[in-house]
A and B are shown apart, each in its own frame.
Chain A
Amino acid sequence: MINGYLDPASGSAIIGAVAAGAAGAGVAARTMMAKMRLKKRSADGPELDESSVVDEPTQ
């Protein structure tokens, strides 16, 4: 976990918004969703660009 001095890490930053009440909880939820989408995308690996695929020469 990143929790450096003067850097409270994302989890705390997001929950700081939750503490603001309903409107803040909405912001926190959208931020978490965005983060999870980003995480999933990077876990799936980069999307394949078919134009970049070059057939290996056969011998």
Chain B
Amino acid sequence: MTDAGSPPDRAHSNPQYDAGSFRDPSSRVWRDGDHIRRGLDATAAADFEKVAASRFFTAAMADGSVVGTRTVEGASPDGREWAAVLEHDRIPVITYAHEWSFSMLQDAALLTLRLVRAAIDEDITTKDATAYNVQFVGARPVFIDVPSFEPYRAGEAWWGYRQFCQMFLFPLMFTAYKDLPHQPWMRGAVDGITPEHARRVLEGRRAGHKGFLSHVWLHAKADAKFTDSSADTVDEMKKAGYKKELYVATIDRLLKLVEGLEWGRSESTWGDYSQRGHYQSKELLLKADFVRRVVGQTHRGQVWDIGANDGMFSRIAADHSDMVLAMDADDLVVDRLYRELRADGTTGILPMYTNFADPSPGIGWNGTERPPLPARSQPDLVLALAVIHHLALTHNVPTAAILDNFASLDSEVVLEIPTENDQMVKTLMRHKRAGTHDAYTLEAIESQIADRFEARSREELPGGSRVIFHLTPRE
């Protein structure tokens, strides 16, 4: 339920608690240099001892579905004496459900349910089920909130059920049943979609969809009717005959439901981009060579590929970096890339739904509980291949502001500029008022580049309408 994976190396020189680690008072996470540590109070420490001794937990850590965790000695940032301190393997880049594609959210949901299902066989449950408990290492989901596991108390229902619905099931249903992207909803509320909101969106002619009646409609009605604490309900449910078998059946049925959810859409704005009909094959090869030369100069930590689409250039960069963030504003292409990478077993590329013209803001408490991307990832190289014209001409962001943004990342940039003579630029300008983008010229942009960057290399692509640069920030 907390982050502490990969804040930039250039910050966090002193240990400090993670800004997203406070909701469960029994533990807190902090970063100490490259180490991710977690303090546990006495109860959580005793629980962890039992969990760590279980077969399911050992197996899940061994196969990478639970983050590598060990007990260490270590001081906390505020001098608090925790009963135990854990160290977790570091997650290269932290991402959130509003940055995942449908299949990523579905895989995170299935990982959560499969772990809960395996745990209950050894009388272990989870106290919550937020999507923040799961992270991705490349295209592999990893459960990171180890203290969420605790011993199961006989006769209790799964405490994570509501969160699971709000943060996994309802967003997945929105996409599967209504073709609504889940990302704006999850970005809009740190706790996800309430049962009542889900009911209002999902009910109607197609309300007969699997799971709607119980998980959504009845859930919303019961939520409105029974508003007392669930702690008060535990004994009443026990008296009414609630047993562990029902807990198991709930998880099994949720697993079946989530496994069966499918997103039927197969077309989108950029869904056919990988065919790249607007490029001549020679132009594409030279562009790939240029990128290969730059990324091959040195091994880099993180690379951002903005507008990654099918991941062609992310794959080139992945050979020479720890992690490539393959960002795209088209949820369908992100989903396709994720499924390809998952099938390949690639772990060096992390697909991410991101509209660079409207990137993820900080959400949750203080706006820092789930911080914006630059607080989570520091790129050493940015690939901005044929995106500047979309930002400038579609979103009307001034080219100087775009370059300021790239410069603020303090990293090298490979920038491809489609000039005013480019066919795609002409298409984008066609529906704009005359004169709106007169300033979009190669000459003007090159002058703005010179104010901010050193151009290490510059190459005109064979079609004559695109120029590609390798830039380093000015000191």
The chain A residues found within 8 Å of chain B, CB to CB, are 1-21, 23-24, 26-28, 30-32, 34-35
Contacts and interface: CB of A to CB of B under 8 A. Distances in A.
B259 interface: no
A23 B248 CA distance: 12
B223 A12 contact: yes
6 A-B pairs closest in CB distance:
A8-B162, A12-B162, A11-B222, A30-B240, A16-B161, A11-B223
B232 A15 contact: no
Contacts of B59: none
Given A2-B228, A8-B230, A9-B227, A20 B165 contact: no
A16 B157 contact: yes
Contact of A35 (B23, B218, B226, B249): B226
A27 B219 contact: no
Contact of A13 (B161, B214, B215): B161
B222 A14 contact: yes
Interface residues of B, number: 43
A36 B398 CA distance: 61
Contacts of B162: 3, 8-9, 12-13, 16
Contacts of B233: 10, 13-14, 31, 35
Nearest to A16: B161
B125 to A, nearest CB: 12
23 contacts: A6-B159, A7-B229, A7-B230, A8-B161, A9-B223, A9-B226, A9-B230, A10-B222, A10-B227, A11-B219, A11-B225, A14-B222, A15-B222, A15-B223, A16-B161, A16-B162, A20-B247, A24-B249, A27-B237, A27-B246, A30-B241, A31-B237, A32-B225
Interface in B231-265: 231-234, 236-237, 239-242, 245-247, 249-250, 253-254
B249 A20 contact: yes
Nearest to A38: B236
Q: Is the interface of A mostly helix, strand, loop or mixed?
A: helix
A43 to B, nearest CB: 14
Nearest to B253: A19
Contacts of A4: 229
B165 to A, nearest CB: 7
B195 interface: yes
B168 interface: no
Contacts of B195: 11-12
Contacts of B420: none
Interface in B73-101: none
A15 B219 contact: yes
A22 B242 CA distance: 12
Nearest to A2: B229
Given A15-B223, A35-B226, 20 more contacts: A1-B227, A5-B24, A6-B127, A8-B161, A9-B229, A14-B233, A14-B237, A15-B214, A16-B161, A17-B242, A19-B254, A20-B247, A20-B249, A21-B253, A24-B242, A24-B249, A26-B241, A28-B240, A31-B236, A31-B237
B158 interface: yes
Contact of A32 (B163, B226, B232): B226
B159 A9 contact: no
Contacts, number: 135
A42 B36 CA distance: 50
Given A2-B229, A8-B161, A13-B230, A21 B219 contact: no
Nearest to A5: B23
A3 B231 CA distance: 11
A18 B23 CA distance: 28
B161 A15 contact: yes
Contacts of A17: 157, 237, 242, 246, 250
A18 B158 contact: no
B218 A2 contact: no
Contact of A11 (B224, B240, B247): B224
A13 B224 contact: no
Contact of B253 (A15, A20, A28): A20
B233 to A, nearest CB: 4
Contacts of A30: 239-241
Interface string B403-425: 00000000000000000000000
B128 interface: yes
Nearest to B233: A10
Interface string B330-361: 00000000000000000000000000000000
Contacts of B165: 12
Contact of A12 (B128, B161, B232): B161
A11 B162 CA distance: 9
A26 B236 CA distance: 13
A15 B215 CA distance: 7
A22 to B, nearest CB: 10
